[in-house]
Amino acid sequence: MDAIGKVAVLGIGVLGSQIAFQVAYSGFEVTAYDIDTKALEEADRRLSGLIGSYEKLVPGATAGKATQARDRIVLTADLAAAVADADLVIEAVPEVLALKQEIYGKISRLAPAGTIFATNSSTLLPSEMKDFTGRPDRFLALHFANQIWRFNTAEVMGTPETDPAVFDRVVAFAKAIGMVPIPLRKEKAGYVLNSLLAPFLSAAANLAAGDYAHPHDVDKVWRIATGAPVGPFQIFDIIGLVTPYNIMSHGDERSQEIAAWLKENYIDKGKLGVATGEGFYSYK
Ligand code: NAD
């Protein structure tokens, strides 16, 4: 099968902008789609910000190389144009099933029959979207982590209907853009990463919210006793506190209590993590 050449990314928010940039940085032409002019302005700002992040944080990145990557990304609010000649569409629109189903319904008609569709969804299963794609054999999940240039896993997860050749092609593409592909053998909500991380972070939050130990001391135990470079609250700060808050506020009674603790002590005080300069730690 032919290698993937042209890539379209749908939804140029936190993850979509990083995916588009990493793909372009690896030499691919990218079309980046978002809904309207306002969203495109925001996307442009994110992509320009990534030039600096790559120069500063990616070994071997030069100013020229990062700027060239940005120049390989064409921003558009025209969905038909975005997917017209894409070999691979990577969807990173908000984590709302109905929204994702709707966009697959649209691109099922707009993209060539051979185009592969991949969802970056963190919590939804590709099975919940496959019937809207018009090509369940060419559809799967390709899940990246935040700060893609640094935390470079790409979890690849098909449905029972995904063609194994398509799966292998996406694994090869993930390698080509500098990722370490992690193939899942069958569907699992949360993939490998979040299946491990969610209960870990929840257990840490339970210790701090229950006033058993200070967040910094929870981290200290984890680092010293296991040799891990960072503790759970340092991870919270990197992820940002809002996503875990949203997940926990829909959980059981104890999860909701922990969510309320996060909100009262951190989120309501603007302490959202590294992105705002303060979370469980100060980065100012
Ligand atoms: P985000 O809110 O930052 O970005 C979503 C983008 O989609 C925005 O630019 C928004 O304008 C755009 N959008 C909204 N409606 C759209 C539509 N109908 N069509 C096209 N674009 C539309 O969200 P995010 O954090 O980047 O998450 C996007 C996806 O990536 C979700 O499925 C999420 O689960 C997944 N993900 C997120 C992370 C993370 O750490 N943020 C990590 C891995 C995977």
Instruction: Note whether residue 281 is domain-resident.
Output: no
Say if residue 71 is in the same domain as residue 107. yes
Query: Is residue 284 in a domain?
Result: no
Do the domain assignments include residue 263? yes
Tell me the average pLDDT across 229-236.
Answer: 97
CB-ligand 1 contact for 36 (6 Å cutoff): no
Q: Which amino acid residue places its CA nearest to atom 29 of ligand 1?
A: 92
Domain extent, residue 90, equals 6-183
Question: Domain total for the chain?
Answer: 2
In this structure, are 28 and 134 located in the same domain? Answer: yes
77 Cβ inside 6 Å of ligand 1: no
Last residue of a domain, one of 136, 154, 183: 183
Q: How far apart are CA 72 and CA 282, in angstroms?
A: 36
pLDDT exceeds 80 at position 93:
yes
- pLDDT tier for residue 3 given thresholds of 50, 70 and 90: confident
Are residue 46 and residue 17 in the same domain, yes or no?
Answer: yes
Best residue among 9, 10, 14, 47 to mutate for probing ligand 1's pocket (most ligand atoms within 8 Å of CB) is 14
pLDDT digit string, tens, across residues 148-165: 999 999 999 999 999 999
Locate the ligand 1 atom nearest the alpha carbon of residue 13 and give its number.
4
| 265 Cβ below 6 A of ligand 1 | no
Contacts of 26 (CB under 8 A, 6+ apart): 176, 177, 178
Q: 70: closest CA among 79, 61, 57?
A: 61
Per-residue pLDDT, averaged over 247-254, amounts to 90
The model carries a pTM of 0.90
Ligand 1 test: best mutation among 18, 33, 83, 93, most atoms within 8 Å of CB? 93
CATH code of residue 26: 3.40.50.720
Is pLDDT of 1 > 60?
A: no
CA of 150 to the centre of ligand 1 (A): 19
126 within ligand 1 shell (Cβ under 6 A): no
Q: Tell which of 155, 183, 211 closes a domain.
A: 183
Strands 180-183 and 139-144: unpaired
CA 93 to ligand 1: nearest atom:
7
Contact 121 CB / ligand 1 (< 6 Å): yes
Tell me, yes or no, whether 63 and 109 share the same domain: yes
